[in-house]
Amino acid sequence: MSLTAPLAGLGQSVLRSRALAALTSPHGVDRYLEQINPMWAATEVRARIVDIHREVDVPGHPPVATLTLQPTSTWRGHRAGQHVQLGVEVEGARRTTRVFTISSPDSRPGDRFQVTMRANPDGVVSRWLVERATPGTTVHLSQAQGEFVLPDRMPEHVLFISGGSGITPVMSMLRSLQRRTHRGRVTFLHYAQSPEHQIFAEELAETARTGHGVDLHLMHPELGDPNLSPAFLERLVPGYREVPTWACGPAPLIEGVQAAYDGSESLQIEYFKPPRRASADDAEGAVSFTRSGKEAPNTGASLLEQAEALGLKPESGCRMGICFSCVATKTDGTVRNVLTGEESSLPDEEIRVCVSSPVGDCSVEL
Amino acid sequence: MPTPTRPRLTPEQMEQFGDEMDAIRQRVMADLGEADATYIRKIVKAQRGFEVAGRALFYLPPAWPLAVAALSVSKILDNMEIGHNVMHGQYDWMGDPGLNSRMYEWDNVCPSEQWKYSHNYIHHTFTNVLGKDRDIGYGILRMDEDQKWHPYYLGNPVYAFLLMMFFEWGVAMHDLEVENIVAGKRKIEENKALHAGIMRKVKRQALKDYLLFPALTGPLFPMTLAGNAVANLVRNVWAFNIIFCGHFPAGAETFTAEECENETRGHWYYRQLLGSANITGGPLFHILSGNLSHQIEHHLFPDIPARRYPELSAEVQEICERYGLQYNTGRLSKQLFSVAKKICRLALPDRKADAPVDRAGVTEDALAA
C-alpha cells in the first residue's frame, strides 16, 4: 500500500493533467480508458459489485439486499448519511439511474462501501440490483451527495429516528460512531412492519446486547407498539426537542416527527419519495417549472407550450420531436409522448418538452 | 414554379402516407435495445482503436500512409456514424452520457452545439425549403434552378471544390450565416456569441492535431503534422461527397415556403422523401457514410439509430411504390456525377426560354393581386 499509493497518486495526476485532456480532446481521457478497463477512470466514478447479500427475504414481500461496491480510485469517499446515484444498464442497453443511501460507515477515497436497498416492485434499478445483478457487474456512480450527515464534533447525546428502509443512512451513522469509538449516548428509535422485516436484525441485536451507549428501540406499531407521538418521545428522551436528532423514513413518519419537533433546529430530516403513479385523466393537476419557480394548472398542452404560456423561453427548435433542442429533465410526475401515446413516470428523466404533455402533477427543470 | 412533375397526393392519401411512416417509426422505437447499444459501442471501440493506432503509427516513418489511413478512418467514423448520429439523439435512450446528443462533441472544428442548431433544427425541419433550408448550397453555391442566377455563380465549380477541401471549416462557418450578413438580413453582432465557441473549438482541434501530437513524435514533427492534416482533408473530401449526394442529385425536389405553410405531418414526410436521395453500396460503405447513404430513411426518421436504415429501406420503397412516389437511389458514381453536373450547369444562367420564373416575384405578384 505504502508503495502503490504514491504511484497511484502520480497516475491520477497524469490522468487528470491538462496535457492529456488536450491530447484526448474532444472526448476526454475517460472515453479511452473505459475501452481498456471499466475500472480505470480519470474523473468518472464507476464500481464493481463485489458482493450481494440478502438482508431480508420475507415471502410475498420485496426483498432487501446489501451490495458491496469496489469503486474506481476516483471515488472521493463519503460521510455517513450521504447517498449516491447509481446507474445500471438494464438489458445491456438503457442506463437507468436511481439514488441509494450508503449503509456502511464513512469511507475514504477509493474505499469499498455498501448500499442497502429494498427491491421496489415498480423500481427498475432496485429490482435489477437485488434480484438479477451478479458480483463482477460494473455500475455507474456519482460522488457521494447529501447534507444529511453527522457533524465532525459529535454532541454528547444524539437521537436517531428511522422507518423501514430509512434505516440505511442512520445505520451508516451508527456504524461510523462505533468505529470512531464515540463515547456519548445514542438513542435509536426504529419503526418496522414486523421483526421479520427488520433490516440489519442480527447486527442490531448484537448492538442491543453489548450496549456501548446505544439505547435501541425497535417498534412494530402494527403489532401493538405505540405510534410516534410527542408524548411517547418525551417519555423516551425527556427534552427531546433539544437533542440533536436525525430522522429518515417514509413521508408519514417524517411528517409526524416534524410535527413533534415543532420547528426545533435540533432536527435534521431526510425523506424518500415514492414514485408518483399516473392518474387516469389528462389535464389534471399542476405543472411546475422548478428553475424559474413558475407553476400553473395543467392545461394538457405540451410542456413547451405550457412553459411559454407562463412567459418562459426554453430552448427549442423543430417543435415536433426531431431536433432534441428542447430536452429537459422532468424531476417528478408522468408525461405522455404526444407522438406515441407512451406514458412515463420515471423521476429525473430527460424528455423532449415539445412532444411531452403532463398527465397529472408534473415538475420540469425549466 | 410549383413543379408540375411532382406526384400529387390527395389530403386523405397524404394523411395515410404519414400514418404509415409514423407506424414504422413507432414500431422501431419500441424495438430498440441491446443489439443497437452493442452496435454503437462496437463502432466507438473501433473508432478509438483506429485513432490510437493512427497516432502511434506516426512513430514508424515507413508506416506513414497506414497511420494517415487509420486516422482518416477514425475521423470519418467519429464525425459520421458516431457524431452525426449521436447528436441527432439516436442513442439518447441509452442514457449513456458518452453517447448523449446534449453532451457529445466531435473531432471537427465546428462546435457540436452550433452544428446541432443549423443541422438538427434548421436543415431537418425545413429540409429543401428554399430560403429556409440553408443547406441548399450552404449560402455559397447555386444548387437549385430557383436560386436566381448571378455572375458570382460562374465560380460554382470552384467554390464547390474549395468547400470540399475545407469542408469542416465550411461547416464551422455555416452558422455565421455570412451570406445573410452580406445581404443585410443579419447583423454582424449576432455572431459575437458564436465566434467564441468556434474559436475555442478551433484552438483545441489545432492544438492536438497541429502541435501536441506532432511534438510528441519529436524529429518526425513535420511528418506527423502533414499526416494529421491529410487525415483531416480525407475526412473533408469524403464527408462532402457523401453529403452532397444526399439532397442534390437530379430528381431531389425543392419546395417553396408557401407550400409548407401549416404543413401536415404527412406532407412533412412527403417533403423529406422527395427531397432526399440514397446511395447504394455494401455494409462497410454504409458504415463509413454514417448510413447517410440512406439519406431518405434518415430524413424520414432522424432519431432512429442509423443502423436500422438499411432494414427499413425495403419497407419505405414498397410504400413509395404504392403511392407512386419516387425513391431516388443510385450508385455513388452515378449520384456524384449527377451532382457535379448540376454544380457546373447551374454556374451558367438558365438557357431555356421557359426558364423558371423567380419564385419570390411570383408570390409578390400574387400577393399584390
Same domain for A142 and A170: no
Same domain for A292 and A339: yes
ipTM of the shown complex:
0.88
Which chain A residue is nearest to residue B214, measuring alpha carbons? A23
Give the whole-angstrom CA distance, residue B238 versus residue B242.
6
Give the pLDDT mean for B315-341: 96
Kindly state whether residue A151 falls inside one of the protein's structural domains. Answer: no
Same domain for A292 and A254: no
For residue A25, the chain B residues in CB contact (below 8 A) are 204-205, 207-208
The last residue of a domain, from among A270, A305, A329: A270
Same domain for A261 and A163: yes
Phi, psi dihedrals of residue B352, rounded to the nearest 5°: -60, 150
Do B125 and A317 count as a contact with CB atoms less than 8 A apart?
yes
Domain ranges of chain B: 11-345
CA atoms within 13 A on the CB side of A252: 5
Same domain for A1 and A49: no
The last residue of a domain, from among A270, A290, A307: A270
Best interface-test mutation with A: which of B104, B114, B120 has the largest number of A CBs within 10 A? B120
Same domain for A179 and A260: yes
Give the pLDDT mean for B334-349: 96
8 Å CB contact between A92 and B38: yes
8 Å CB contact between B301 and B287: no
Q: Is A343 on the interface with B (CB under 8 A)?
A: no
Kindly state whether residue A275 falls inside one of the protein's structural domains. Answer: no
Same domain for A74 and A110: yes
With 50 as the cut, is the pLDDT of residue B360 above it?
no
**Which CATH number goes with the domain that contains A59?**
2.40.30.10
> Considering CB atoms only, which of B33, B208, B268 is closest to A93?
B33
pLDDT tens per residue across span B267-318: 999 999 999 999 999 999 999 999 999 999 999 999 999 999 999 999 999 9
Same domain for A169 and A265: yes
Do A95 and B96 count as a contact with CB atoms less than 8 A apart?
yes
Q: Is B200 on the interface with A (CB under 8 A)?
A: no
With 60 as the cut, is the pLDDT of residue B335 above it?
yes
**What nine digits make up the cell of A283?**
389535464
> Considering CB atoms only, which of A23, A325, A340 is closest to B120?
A325
Do A26 and B106 count as a contact with CB atoms less than 8 A apart?
yes
pLDDT tens per residue across span A190-217: 999 899 889 999 999 999 888 778 999 9
pLDDT of the residue at B362: 34
Where does the pLDDT of residue A5 fall: very low under 50, low under 70, confident under 90, or very high at 90 and above? low
**Percent of the residues in chain A that have a pLDDT greater than 90, as a whole number:** 62
Which chain B residue is nearest to residue A87, measuring alpha carbons? B95
For residue A317, the chain B residues in CB contact (below 8 A) are 117, 120-121, 125
Where does the pLDDT of residue A279 fall: very low under 50, low under 70, confident under 90, or very high at 90 and above? very low
Identity at B261, one-letter amino acid code: E
Angle at Cα A191 formed by Cα A188 and Cα A192, nearest 5°? 130
**Which CATH number goes with the domain that contains A360?**
3.10.20.30
Kindly state whether residue A123 falls inside one of the protein's structural domains. Answer: yes
Which chain B residue is nearest to residue A35, measuring alpha carbons? B45
pLDDT tens per residue across span A224-277: 999 999 999 999 999 999 999 999 998 889 989 999 999 899 999 987 654 343
Best interface-test mutation with A: which of B44, B75, B108, B125 has the largest number of A CBs within 10 A? B125
pLDDT of the residue at A12: 82
Instruction: Please count the residue pairs, one from chain A and one from chain B, whose beta carbons lie less than 8 angstroms apart.
Output: 100
pLDDT of the residue at A272: 65
Please give the tally of structural domains in chain A: 4
Q: Is B204 on the interface with A (CB under 8 A)?
A: yes
Give the pLDDT mean for B5-24: 92
Give the whole-angstrom CA distance, residue B178 versus residue B132.
15
**What nine digits make up the cell of A175?**
456504524
Q: Which of A175, A165, A163, A168 is nearest to A148 (CA)?
A: A168
Q: Is A20 on the interface with B (CB under 8 A)?
A: no
For residue A89, the chain B residues in CB contact (below 8 A) are 37
Single pTM value for the model? 0.86
Say how many C-beta atoms besides its own lie within 10 A of residue B120's C-beta. 23
Give the whole-angstrom CA distance, residue A249 versus residue A270.
7
Give chain A's length: 366
Same domain for A141 and A163: no
**What nine digits make up the cell of A232?**
411517547
Q: Which domain holds residue A8?
A: 1-43
Give the whole-angstrom CA distance, residue A213 versus residue A185.
5
Same domain for A110 and A49: yes
Where does the pLDDT of residue B176 fall: very low under 50, low under 70, confident under 90, or very high at 90 and above? confident
Which chain A residue is nearest to residue B212, measuring alpha carbons? A23
Give the pLDDT mean for A71-81: 95
